[in-house]
Amino acid sequence: MKVVLQRVLEAQVTVADKVIGKIGQGLLIYLGVSATDGLEELSWLAEKVAKLRMFDNPSDGETKTALSIKDIGGPALVISQFTLLADTRRGRRPSFTAAAAPTQANELYQRFVQQLGGHLPVQTGEFGADMQVSSVNDGPFTLVIEHPSPGSLA
């Protein structure tokens, strides 16, 4: 699994000219599911995202990134994005063979949303739809997290 986390002041997702998800200050999360992902990766990643300190503490002018999204009670907007699993090492056309099949990806996407929702308010896009996502990045502050993380201790 791979996520791109963006700290935002606001974000929204539109499908067929209708806003289906909208948040204020919080996290915009793009989630990519690989063919080898399962519940272990999902649980690890949902916990990591909920507790990762990406927000400043307004009462502490010295400490940056002291609070998590869970700590501030902020929302998340989660968007499925299989293109995060693109392999661009060869040629000029990305290969998406590492991405999970739609049925598996949708199931793990829904479970990720549900598990993250146990920690904080969550809005979503529409799995498999042509979506337009807009956001106002805060910072900008963007992180990419993978599980398993190459060369890390998790």
pLDDT of the residue at 148: 65
In a domain, 152, yes or no: no
In a domain, 6, yes or no: yes
Measured CA to CA, the distance from residue 118 to residue 116 in angstroms comes to 5
Catalytic residue (one of 6, 12, 55, 82): 82
Cα-trace Rg, the chain: 16
Give the global pTM.
Answer: 0.92
Q: CA quadruple 16, 22, 26, 31: dihedral positive or negative?
A: negative
In a domain, 92, yes or no: yes
Q: Which of 59, 47, 28, 11 is nearest to 141 (CA)?
A: 28
Looking up residue 131, the CATH number of its domain turns out to be 3.50.80.10
In tens digits, what is the pLDDT along the chain, a chain of 154 residues? 999 999 999 999 999 999 999 999 999 999 999 999 999 999 999 999 999 999 988 776 667 888 999 999 999 999 999 999 999 999 999 999 999 999 999 999 999 999 999 999 999 999 999 999 999 999 999 999 998 654 444 4
In a domain, 154, yes or no: no
Report the domain count for the chain.
1
Instruction: Give the Cα-Cα-Cα angle 47, 132, 145 (nearest 5 degrees).
Output: 25
pLDDT of the residue at 86: 93
Catalytic residue (one of 83, 114, 132, 142): 83
Measured CA to CA, the distance from residue 35 to residue 149 in angstroms comes to 16
Asked if 36 is an active-site residue, the reply is no
In a domain, 153, yes or no: no
Helix count and strand count (H, E) for the chain: 3, 8
pLDDT of the residue at 151: 45
Q: What tokens appear for 69 in the block?
A: 């999204």
In a domain, 151, yes or no: no
pLDDT of the residue at 153: 46
Q: Which domain holds residue 30?
A: 2-146
In a domain, 48, yes or no: yes
Asked if 12 is an active-site residue, the reply is no
In a domain, 129, yes or no: yes
Catalytic residue (one of 6, 12, 14, 81): 81
Q: Which of 71, 60, 61, 56 is nearest to 141 (CA)?
A: 56
Asked if 142 is an active-site residue, the reply is no
